Amino acid sequence: MDVRKKLSERFAGVEGGLFSNVTKADVGDGFSAMGKDKVTLMGWADPFYPDPSIPEHIKQVMIEEIQNGFPSHYIMPSGSLALRERVAKKLKQKNHLDVDPKRNILITPGSDSGLFYAMAVLLDQGDEVLVPDPSYPNNFLDPKLLGATAVSVPLAHDDGYSLDIEAFQAALTSRTKAVVLTHPNNPTTTVFRKENLEVLAEFVIKNDLMLVVDQAFEDSVFDDIEFITPASLPGMWERTITVFSISKGMGLSGFRVGYIAACDQIMDAMYGAAVNVLGASNTLAQLGAIAAFDAPDFIDPYIQSFDYRRKKAFEIFGSVPGVKIEMPESGFYCWVDVSGLGDSTDVMNYLVQEAKVAVNDGKNYGKQGNGHLRIIHGCLGSDEEAVLTMRRMADALVKYPKRNGE
Amino acid sequence: MDVRKKLSERFAGVEGGLFSNVTKADVGDGFSAMGKDKVTLMGWADPFYPDPSIPEHIKQVMIEEIQNGFPSHYIMPSGSLALRERVAKKLKQKNHLDVDPKRNILITPGSDSGLFYAMAVLLDQGDEVLVPDPSYPNNFLDPKLLGATAVSVPLAHDDGYSLDIEAFQAALTSRTKAVVLTHPNNPTTTVFRKENLEVLAEFVIKNDLMLVVDQAFEDSVFDDIEFITPASLPGMWERTITVFSISKGMGLSGFRVGYIAACDQIMDAMYGAAVNVLGASNTLAQLGAIAAFDAPDFIDPYIQSFDYRRKKAFEIFGSVPGVKIEMPESGFYCWVDVSGLGDSTDVMNYLVQEAKVAVNDGKNYGKQGNGHLRIIHGCLGSDEEAVLTMRRMADALVKYPKRNGE
């Protein structure tokens, strides 16, 4: 028998996923193998990876909790109420969302499953979802896995990758159900501006759509750009499911703790099926997350480090002939246009060989990602090593062999 | 606007979920409130809850890992290779499955999301799934959440809740895609016998179906009943996705670590979309799970305790007039027929009021669950307290008020 024929149509043909350059059914071991080859990983969106990076006060709480022996037990699928209370406080202060922790917050085992779940409760077979391009790969694949269709909407490249409402309008059909936004955008680092988001909100409301927003990178926004949470815009609370994470901003990726904010009616369904789709979130990590929210200042030096590194990245890659880079607006990565050198997959593979550094091919982030690389400058514990590694890449790129016929 | 109209048809109407007796959008806080009311929880399938229960050798490994500072980082969505290697060894020894840890094992954040994912990769809109009744509630709801239909197949109650292949045959249609089995069965504790599973396998193969098996309770099987992993039966490896957990057998529910075993072709899709549907599993918990698999003898006294308690449960509840109970074959709960007393929801609520104990209404486990309660005798750290709590329930049940007209 050919088991492949037994797979759901939604999953048939799925392979790889997280990175394009993997062996089938072997996601990640490709990267493990690179590790053995002394390749530095700058394609792994995990602050300071692989160096130690748990703040002392969080360590202490977690060690105490292990010693007291409780974390072998479940916390309810909706999440620790104590953690939801901390999250509610943060949502009010940072996101201008005033919500009831008992009704409007769901703790998720990371924001990836949270993002999937947010789309799952909205999408029916045949629905269409408008996805800015480039953006996070899951925005394109998740709708397909749910029997819906992701419709790519090109961002306005010449206008700093802002949302092009005319392009949204052009992609709209009677089947359009929702817009999915990564904000700040990954991989472009774009922080969508207030006026841009207001026009998007108007489009969503006028066309009776829903909005899913992934705000995983909201904590590292630079140059005093105003950060707006779309759910806080007039008329948008009931239309928006917002997905958050402690992986990026707090640098606690391995904890797998995310959270979702949405209105009561959406949460009725999300709480009700949480044990089905998500199970529950890790108990000890939730207790650690409470400690993180109680004393969140530990992230200040992280942001300073990312700020320093982005400026260095801009300087280092900007100096390579044929390479274009804009100053990153957010996050701990940069989006580099290498189309002047050649095909981005070729350039990525060249960097593994010549500079012993692995980065992400822009092709994973949508059609508009072609010709680009995403380089995570936030990897590695020391700024110095991160900068040296970027210099090593730049030195290799300067020597990038000319294409045939050039 | 009525946001409810924006929800996916699959999720519309979902509420509650884990337990029937909850406030909308408030799953679990009902139980928290009970805790404040000094109600003992015997409806929470979490060994020794809420008492401390992490083995010392696992504590030590986890504390060391926290101190070294790595667990803030991700492990690949397919899971720690070191853990998959331990799991492969266990699958060979216990389940007679000889698999490649790099290709046939996926670590999941608990077995609930694993079970959902196993169904997701198989089911298309309109497919039908045959689900033995009674069984785990997710077996019924998960297919609906995926746009498919769960078709209830009554178990042979007079034959110890074994699989009734005639009933399966009667439920078969041209849309039947798969059978979902919880084995040992939850809530009936039934360990399906080899000859019974062989007939099921024959049915699956003959009708070109797939099989999803949830083996969360495989570690506690009593009375030397032979435990058979259906995937190990001839012709079944490629037709079976098997879902496992360290929550029940190892008593590490709060770790949220499960695993799935399946053939290469299925794993191509499961690895490829793991980051979408599951995200990744908690890093520290995977490191703790490695320690658990390295020295798994700590579960021996757990099994002895569950064995002692099931016998006590059988004796205690069996002595109540109007209550029927069979000796549990597996797990750390019992399945009690209270239909001689009255409606099971009424009896459940009565126990909260009169005995200050919360248990599960059998109605959550399928149509055949009506008139039953699931009582988790494996809660509470001390056997003595567990037995005293069951006696308190029995004393209350003896005084259960006669119905009108009796």
Instruction: With a cut of 70, say whether residue B319 has pLDDT above it.
Output: yes
Q: Is B289 on the interface with A (CB under 8 A)?
A: no
Q: Is B46 on the interface with A (CB under 8 A)?
A: yes
Q: DSSP 3-state assignment of A206?
A: helix
| Smallest Cα distance from B110 to chain A, Å | 7
Give chain B positions within 8 Å (CB) of A27.
Answer: 76-78, 271-272, 274-275
Residues of chain B contacting A71 with CB distance shorter than 8 Å: 54, 254-255
B125 touches chain A (CB under 8 A): yes
**Res A157 pLDDT > 90:** no
Query: What local confidence, expressed as pLDDT, does residue A34 receive?
Result: 73
Residues of B within 8 A of A62 (CB-CB) are 66, 284
- Are A50 and B71 spatial neighbours (Cβ–Cβ below 8 Å)? no
Mark which residues 134-163 of A lie under 8 Å from B by CB.
138, 141-142, 145, 147
Contacts of B125 in chain A (CB under 8 A): 125, 147
**Chain B contacts in chain A segment 252-281 (CB below 8 A):** 252-256, 258, 263-269, 271-281
Which tens digits make up the pLDDT trace of A3-34?
A: 889 899 998 878 655 554 555 555 556 666 77
Q: How far is CA A219 from CA A192, A225, B9, in A?
A: 14, 12, 35
Mean pLDDT, range A276-290, rounded to an integer: 97
Q: Which residues contact B343 (CB under 8 A, 6 or more apart)?
A: B371
* Count of Cβ atoms closer than 10 Å to residue A307 Cβ: 15
Chain B, window 292-331: residues with a beta carbon less than 8 angstroms from a chain A beta carbon: none
B210 at interface of A, judged by CB pairs closer than 8 A: yes
Interchain CB contact of A32 with B (< 8 Å): yes
Give the C-alpha separation, A52 to B208, whole Å.
50
DSSP-derived secondary structure for B98-158: ---TTTSEEEESSHHHHHHHHHHTT--TT-EEEEEES--HHHHHHHHHTT-EEEEEE-BGG
CB contact (8 A) between residue B142 and residue A276? yes
Helix, strand, coil percentages for chain A (3-state, nearest 5)? 45, 15, 40
- Rounded CA-CA distance B383/B304 in Å is 10
Alpha helices in B165-298 (DSSP H): 165-171, 194-206, 264-272, 274-277, 283-294
Does A176 contact chain B (CB < 8 Å)?
no
In whole angstroms, give the CA distance from residue B152 to residue A167.
Answer: 47
Distance CA A100, CA A123 (A): 25
Q: How many CB atoms lie within 10 A of CB A75?
A: 25
Residues 85-114 (B) with a CB less than 8 A from some CB of A: 102-103, 109-113
In this predicted structure, the answer to whether residue B112 has a pLDDT above a threshold of 90 is yes
pLDDT of residue B405: 45
ipTM of the complex: 0.96
CB-based contact B105:B87 (threshold 8 Å): yes
Residues of B in contact with A138 (CB under 8 A): 275-276
What confidence score (pLDDT) does residue A403 get? Answer: 60
For residue A171, is pLDDT > 80?
A: yes
Under 8 Å between Cβ of B357 and B42? yes
How far is residue B126's CA from residue B145's CA, in Å, rounded to a whole number? 12
- Would you say residue B402 has pLDDT above 80? no
For testing contact with chain A, the best of B20, B21, B27, B75 (most A CBs within 10 A)? B27
A275/B112 touch (CB, cutoff 8 Å), yes or no: yes
A3-53+298-398 maps to CATH 3.90.1150.10: yes
N residues, chain B: 406
Q: Do B276 and A120 touch (CB under 8 A)?
A: no
Residue the block writes with tokens 């996101």:
A95
**B56-296 in CATH: which number?**
3.40.640.10
Of the two residues A247 and A157, the one the predictor is more confident about is: A247
Of B63, B81, B252, the CB nearest to A66: B63
pLDDT confidence of residue B134: 97
Kindly list the domain boundaries of chain B, sorted by start residue.
3-53+298-398, 56-296
| CB contacts, 8 Å: A61 with chain B | none
Query: Quick one: average pLDDT of A203-221?
Result: 98
**Spatial distance between the Cα atoms of B28 and A267, rounded to a whole number of angstroms:** 14
Closest Cα in chain A, distance from residue B341 (Å): 30
Angstroms from A388 CA to nearest CA on chain B: 22
Evaluate if residue A311 carries a pLDDT over 80. Answer: yes
Q: What is the reported pLDDT for B406?
A: 47
Sign of the CA dihedral with B2 first, then B5, B10, and B14 last: positive
A405 pLDDT tier (thresholds 50, 70, 90): very low
Nearest CA in chain A to B239: A3
Picking from A46, A52, A78, the nearest residue to B27 by CB comes out as A78
Distance CA A44, CA A33 (A): 15
Q: Is the pLDDT of residue B209 over 80?
A: yes
- Nearest C-alpha in B relative to A101: B26
Q: Are strands A372-375 and A360-361 parallel, antiparallel or unpaired?
A: antiparallel
Interface contact A268-B8, CB threshold 8 A: no
What is the average pLDDT across A347-375? 95
Quickly state the pLDDT bin for B27 (edges 50, 70, 90): low
Could you give phi then psi for residue B11, rounded to 5 degrees? -105, -15
